Structure 1
Amino acid sequence: MCKKYTFFLLFLISFSVLSQQSYYNKIDFSKSGLALKNDLATLIINTHTNFLSYTPGVWNASKQTDVNPKNATQVMLIYGFSNAGTTARTRGVNDNGGNVGDWNREHTYPRSLGNPNLGTSGAGADAHHLRPSDVRYNGQRGNKPFADGTGNSGTVAQGWFPGDEWKGDVARMIMYMYLRYNNQCLPSVVGIGSATSTPDDMIDLFLKWNAEDPVSILEDNRNTYHENTNNTYAQGNRNPFIDNPFLATKIWGNPPSGTPKPEDRWGNLTLDNTTFFKLKIYSNPKQRDFLFLNRKADFTLEVFNVIGKKIISKEVKNKKNIDISSLKNGIYILKISQLTGSITQKFLKL
């Protein structure tokens, strides 16, 4: 019997992950600072596989990604805050163009501020920073740099305030553009703020806005659409700062004093680096119907038989053990996954 238990333990040895469970599966989130920034940049560059045309690609993408969650016949207009007119929050989904009353494509990172100019391809046609906007209101913003303010959007002393509803969206789009296009889209060029407390050209203004304005349903919808390359106008990549605003803190440090830290939407980036996603799986010879973890966790559980057929798949919440009582005796492959990674191990059920 002891030999059988020894064999059971020997099979609980980690090996390469069988397949990617999530978009961030290969990112080591125990890293921080510029090391994490560079890894995320590589990810969003490599997964950006569909390069949209400015016309009609971006138009068509916006009609899918920026639909009003409460009314599918409308798109949401960035900077908007009223029921109608130039500052309206919504407009008919097909009312796009260049005339008064239409919505057009707002470059949150203005083309003229890029170095070199963003143009109408590449960075200039990246749908992650292009948002529907009222034609006239878009013109009022022009290429003014973003500056702090309160309340609704509009011109302020130093530039343009996007409004309390939209400032988090803007911050996360600028962060994305910086990672995706590096020095062509420096945050310090498009916003009024200080970079002295960050390791590169990120400015405190965008860290502040990212923390103060939580992620919206609209932002999540945009990310979901663009990752899925089955969607005709999807780019294939995601904006990491929408998925988890706390990534900005992991890279560039805390927002300015007096600002709360941004939300950790995964609930684990705030863990100390020495304990972050280091789930370990072990057996207990006295409880053969369970496998055990070294700490409680939320995760996706999958079990495969030796020919690769998935026989268990479920979400597990706040558990430290895995019930394998339903399995017949034999060899299996266990995979547990979180947004931040996954581990795969063989085990023997006796």
Structure 2
Amino acid sequence: MKKILLLLLMFNFFLFSCDSGSSDDSAPDTDIEQPDQPGDDKNPDRENYLTPNVDSEGKIIVNYTPKEYVATVEEGQHMLSVRIPDSYYTSASTLKGNDLREELQEIISTGAIKLSYTSSSSYDVWDMCEAGDQNPADERQVWQIYTETGRAKNDHSAGVSDEWNREHVWAKSHGDFGTDKGAGTDGHHLRASYSKENSTRGNKNFGDVNGPRTSNTQFYEPPLSAKGDVARMIFYMAVRYDFKVDNSGVINKEARMGKLDDLLKWNELDPVDPYEIRRNNIIYGFQKNRNPFIDHPELVKYVFGDKKDAAWKE
């Protein structure tokens, strides 16, 4: 029954994508090359494989991303999702400061569905990760955050040290919510991750250390292509569940994460890309809520950055 429900969900997503006209038929129909593995120096741009570039025709170019994910934007505009429901953010427009943050929380909380962490009869977090984190180069795999590698979707198991598992990007000990429905099962911050790298990250805060995939006693630094994703997931969680993002670096049961200054910088260094947009759309299909910092990345400055005293306009 669970598999039938999942197939129906993915079929509906496919129909919506076709109707939206988001695919680019003019994009070259080329085979997708698998990114080099960590430690392979043949591809010097490996760290940036999901960082978007805009060509002379206004098309987003992302290495290893199928043409179905490619979006067209006008010069100077940020790439927006084609599936934002009409008027989804209208009530937040013209607000500022705490009023803006509270309205965004209302928007992404109202009607949100809380899935189970593990279930044999209905959608659960495994299903969301398999669908949302699908490897752009191989639909049989998930793409593992932090290590930038693909792994078979069925190569997972809770508690196994050499498979992929479900990484709580906002560490579940920071707020002590475990795997309870809500923060503990929210697909907007749960990502497929290589279990050993997940253990290396542990419950550390995020911040610059000394290069990609490094850590110290307080902070973990992901590769460049994941930095913006991580930042926008942390900002989402802070707004959705009224958590705190600061520069303290404290690791305890308080619902706080950091490092704020670095996360603000990462949001700029690693802009929203088609992979992230696709994932936001898929999680919306499961949970019926969105990450506003993917749909409107500029909101980061209005909620957490140097524009908190200015009114945001959609």
Note the alpha carbon deviations across 1:91-133, whole angstroms, 9 max, x for none: 112211132331001111111111x434432211111111011
- The answer to whether 1:70 aligns with 2:131 is no
Moved over 6 A (4+): none
Residue 296 of structure 1: aligned partner:
none
Per-residue CA deviations over 1:309-349 (Å, capped at 9, x if unaligned) read xxxxxxxxxxxxxxxxxxxxxxxxxxxxxxx4xxxxxxxxx
Secondary structure at the aligned position of 1:204 is classed as: helix
Given that 2:89 and 2:107 are in contact with CA atoms closer than 8 Å, whether structure 1 keeps it comes out as: no
Residue 55 of structure 1 deviates from its aligned partner by 0.6
Q: Does structure 1 residue 152 correspond to structure 2 residue 212?
A: yes
1:60 lines up with 2:127 in the alignment: yes
Task: Choose from 172, 196, 201 the match for 1:141.
Answer: 201
| Contact residue 92 and residue 104 of structure 2 kept, 8 A | no
Of stretches 207-216 and 126-135 in structure 1, the one that deviates more from structure 2 is 207-216
Residues 1:248 and 2:311 are matched in the alignment: no
Task: Give yes or no for the alignment of 1:224 onto 2:281.
Answer: yes
- Note closer, same or farther for the CA distance 1:96–1:186 as it changes in structure 2 (3 Å cut): same
Shift of 1:44: 0.3
Counterpart contact for 1:151–1:164, Cα < 8 Å: no
Instruction: Report what 1:238 is aligned to.
Output: 290
Work out whether residues 177 and 183 of structure 2, in 8 Å CA contact, stay in contact via their aligned partners in 1.
Answer: no
Q: Which amino acid aligns with 1:100?
A: S
Tell me the amino acid that sits aligned with residue 152 of structure 2. Answer: G
Aligned ranges 1:190-201 → 2 under 5 Å: none
Q: Report how far residue 23 of structure 1 moved.
A: 5.3
Partner residue, 1:111 = 172
1:223 to partner: Cα distance: 1.0
Pair 23,176 (structure 1): closer, same or farther in 2 beyond 3 Å: farther
Distance in 2 (alpha carbons) for counterparts of 1:112 and 1:189:
18
Structure 1 residues 21, 217: CA separation in 2 closer, same or farther (over 3 Å shift)?
closer
- CA change 1:99–1:209 in 2 (3 A) is same
Contact 1:176 1:240 in 2 (8 A): yes
Give the match's secondary structure for 1:55.
coil
Match of 1:208 among 265, 268, 274: 265
TM-score normalised by the chain length of structure 1: 0.57
Aligned to 2:186: 126
Shift of 1:157: 6.0
Distance 2:270 2:160 in 1: 31
Cα pair distance change 1:166/1:191, threshold 3 Å: farther
Higher helix share: 2
* Pairwise CA distance, 1:35: 1.5
Paired residue for 1:102? 163
Q: CA RMSD in A?
A: 2.6
Contact kept? 2:146, 2:213, Cα under 8 Å? yes
Greater fraction of residues in strand: 1
CA contact (8 A) 2:188 2:233 kept: yes
- Three-state SS of the structure 2 residue aligned to 1:91 is strand
- The residue type equivalent to 1:35 in the other structure is D
**Within-5 A mapping of 1:1-350:** 22=86, 24-48=88-112, 50-56=113-119, 57-81=124-148, 89-97=149-157, 98-114=159-175, 116-149=176-209, 151-156=211-216, 158-182=218-242, 185-188=243-246, 203-228=260-285, 234-254=286-306, 340=314
Pair 105,209 (structure 1): closer, same or farther in 2 beyond 3 Å = same
The change in CA–CA distance for 1:157 and 1:92 in structure 2 (over 3 A counts) is same
Task: Assess, with a 3 A threshold, how the Cα gap between structure 1 residues 33 and 53 changes in structure 2: closer, same or farther.
Answer: same
One-letter amino acid matched to 2:100: L
Gaps of 5+ in 1: 1-19, 82-88, 193-200, 229-233, 256-271, 277-339, 341-350
Identity of aligned residues (%): 38
